[in-house]
Amino acid sequence: MNHWIIAPVILPALLAPLIAFVMRHDLTLARTTSLAGAVAIVAIAVGLTVASGSGETQVYYLGNWPAPFGIVLVLDRLSALMVLLTSVLALIVLVHAVATGWDARGRHFHALFQFQIMGICGAFLTGDIFNLFVFFEVLLIASYGLMIHGGGRERMQAGVQYIVMNLAGSTLFLFGLGVLYASTGTLNIADLALKLREIPIEDAALVRVAAMLLMIVFALKAALFPLQFWLPGTYANAPAPVAALFAIMTKVGAYAIIRVHTLAFGPDIEATGPLAATWLFPAAIVTIVIGALGVLGARALLPLIAFSVLGSMGTLMVAVASFTPEATLAALYYLVHSTFAGAALFLVADLLLSRRKDQTLIPLPATVQNGLFAGLFFAAAIGMAGMPPLSGFLGKLLILDALRDPGQMPWAWGAVLAGSLVTIVGFARAGSQLFWESTSIPVAAPTGPGHGPVTPVRAASAFEIAPTLTALAVLAALSVFAGPVSAFLAQTSEQVFDRDGYIGAVLGTEAEDQP
């Protein structure tokens, strides 16, 4: 049993209380510890990804209880990839928060951040669906704290909405789990998959209800239509580094759908059939449309980015909805890409908005380093909109290539292509308002009448720009190394659809005994 599997959960879980209780008055120490923890998790995640590359599904039995009775953590290529993605993103965001001083604008940023990492990594690793609920709650409660970090009227009000929305979602999750347990008598995902195969079609009503309830909960996390209303308000009002970290939160929902609805409620299960795909596909199409229209209609920068993230979730879920290995490969590639593209946009926006009077898309006197910010925004927007040479183009190409089914193709191709075009228009308009037209406005006198001297705007140091550049570099690397990456992702999606391999690995020899 490989004990490193649980390290991404244990390490932040130990660091967070230490930071909260021991280092609460020493910001430098808290920053050092938090950064060291984030680096360590990246190292562990790289190790786990290498370990998962062998193709063997590794299982960690908590307390050494055998599988259907105890809680298991499962490491396969998909969960290793997601943990790696989380840890790299967390490190980038953390460096940005430290460099820009965001972590000092409220209390307990680093402790909450570590709890957030713990919850996300746990959700990716667990092989037990009730444990998935618990890790969802861990990551949510940390995200509530991070969301209102720094305070302010709009942020607190958006925070209340976000919490209410997610509490209602948690209640639905529990209802779904209750139905599932009542009809199958198990909560282990592998065991569930096995039991669901044997459910006769006439008893399938409750199982279908449970599958849909769980899908609603995951779709709420992934911000799919008609459950997307929380996302623009939350992301636009959250502190920008936190919004960048939240780029992975929507992916937790996407991951849960890929994992649970492929393994347990897959299309080959008689009880559920193609139920998930039937509802997911139109919802994803509408989400793309809403995201694109939101980008076009946004009057401020942060809502614009939030809507572009929404559109990218729609694009991702269109691919997920077909539940085939090829489309899942494309979905995973686009998932990695859109996480970093969304994060890069929020980080650029933060660098810019901390030097600009307000975030509405109107020409204002140019800030310092206007050219630099324009370049960074341009690159991140290219990534998000899906233009070459960055990886968004390849991601969308893979998705379009995978969706050639005559029933899907007109809708999917139309929505993705038209959505990309509208997004490009929206970003181009925003960029020209923010950067280009701003250069034609003369810089105001350094003192305003009656307002006293205006504090000079500080130029961004290399330390502040480095995280954004790193996120963009990841996008570039994804597109340069698209061959090896997609080869790994092809193996990943193959493993995701190897249901018997997963069940056999988790339940040991029992899988062979049962029909």
Partner 1 sequence: MEIVVASSVAVLTAGGVYLILRLRTFPVILGLALLSYAVNIFLFASGRLASGLPPVLSRYGDATYTDPLPQALVLTAIVISFGMTAVLVIVALGAFLESGSDRIDIAPPEDDAAPQESHR
CB 137 within 8 A of CB 131: no
**237 is a contact residue toward partner 1 (CB under 8 A):** yes
**144 is a contact residue toward partner 1 (CB under 8 A):** yes
DSSP label of 451:
T
**411 is a contact residue toward partner 1 (CB under 8 A):** no
CB of 258 to partner 1, least distance (A): 25
Tokens found for residue 140: 């949510």
CB of 264 to partner 1, least distance (A): 17
Residues 261-320 that bind partner 1 (CB under 8 A): 299-300, 302
**363 is a contact residue toward partner 1 (CB under 8 A):** no
**365 is a contact residue toward partner 1 (CB under 8 A):** no
Residues 505, 76: Cα–Cα separation, whole Å: 10
Helix, strand, coil percentages (3-state) for the chain, rounded to 5, are 75, 5, 20
**52 is a contact residue toward partner 1 (CB under 8 A):** no
Binding mask 174-203 for partner 1 (x = CB under 8 A): xx-xxx-xx----x----------------
Residue 471: closest CA among 388, 383, 398: 383
Q: Which stretch binds partner 1 (CB under 8 A): 116-124, 156-164, 415-423, 442-450?
A: 156-164
Instruction: Give phi and psi for 360, each to the nearest 5.
Output: -70, 150
**159 is a contact residue toward partner 1 (CB under 8 A):** yes
Residues 506, 403: Cα–Cα separation, whole Å: 32
**441 is a contact residue toward partner 1 (CB under 8 A):** no
Q: Which stretch binds partner 1 (CB under 8 A): 32-40, 47-55, 86-94, 356-364?
A: 356-364
Q: Which stretch binds partner 1 (CB under 8 A): 75-83, 161-169, 379-387, 503-511?
A: 161-169
Residues 61, 48: Cα–Cα separation, whole Å: 16
Q: Which is nearer to partner 1, 78 or 298 (CB)?
A: 298
DSSP label of 455:
P
End-to-end CA distance of the chain: 27
Residues 146, 298: Cα–Cα separation, whole Å: 24
CB 190 within 8 A of CB 67: yes
Residues 129, 350: Cα–Cα separation, whole Å: 37
DSSP output for 200-247: -GGGHHHHHHHHHHHHHHHHHHHT-TTS-THHHHHHHHS-HHHHHHHH
**61 is a contact residue toward partner 1 (CB under 8 A):** no
User: Angle at CA 374, nearest 5°, toward 422 and 349?
Assistant: 75
Sign of CA dihedral 378, 382, 383, 388: negative
**169 is a contact residue toward partner 1 (CB under 8 A):** no
Residues 141, 146: Cα–Cα separation, whole Å: 9
CB of 217 to partner 1, least distance (A): 12
**130 is a contact residue toward partner 1 (CB under 8 A):** yes
The distance of Cα 391 from the centroid of its chain, to the nearest Å, equals 17
Q: Which stretch binds partner 1 (CB under 8 A): 31-39, 57-65, 155-163, 408-416?
A: 155-163
- Bridge partners, 188 (sequence order): 128
Residue 248: closest CA among 80, 133, 83: 83
User: Among residues 6, 48, 121, 158, which is the contact residue for partner 1, using CB under 8 A?
Assistant: 158
**433 is a contact residue toward partner 1 (CB under 8 A):** no
Instruction: Give the number of other CB atoms < 10 A from CB of residue 111.
Output: 24
Binding mask 2-31 for partner 1 (x = CB under 8 A): ------------------------------
**229 is a contact residue toward partner 1 (CB under 8 A):** no
**134 is a contact residue toward partner 1 (CB under 8 A):** yes
Q: Which is nearer to partner 1, 456 or 515 (CB)?
A: 456
Q: Which pairing describes strands 72-75 and 452-453: parallel, antiparallel, or unpaired?
A: unpaired
**359 is a contact residue toward partner 1 (CB under 8 A):** yes
Q: Which stretch binds partner 1 (CB under 8 A): 9-17, 30-38, 141-149, 305-313?
A: 141-149
Return the biggest CA–CA distance within the chain. 84
**357 is a contact residue toward partner 1 (CB under 8 A):** yes
Q: Which stretch binds partner 1 (CB under 8 A): 77-85, 158-166, 194-202, 310-318?
A: 158-166
384-409: string of b/e by CB count within 10 Å (b at 16+)? bbbbeebbbbbbbbbbbebbeeeebe
| Helices and strands in the chain, H and E counts | 20, 4
CB of 133 to partner 1, least distance (A): 8
Q: How many residues form the binding site for partner 1 (CB under 8 A)?
A: 48
Q: Which stretch binds partner 1 (CB under 8 A): 140-148, 263-271, 322-330, 434-442?
A: 140-148
User: Among residues 14, 53, 157, 461, which is the contact residue for partner 1, using CB under 8 A?
Assistant: 157
Q: Which stretch binds partner 1 (CB under 8 A): 351-359, 406-414, 427-435, 490-498?
A: 351-359
* Residues lying near partner 1 in the complex (CB under 8 A): 105, 130, 134, 137, 140-141, 144-145, 148, 150-161, 163-164, 167-168, 170-171, 174-175, 177-179, 181-182, 187, 233, 236-237, 240, 299-300, 302, 353-354, 357-360
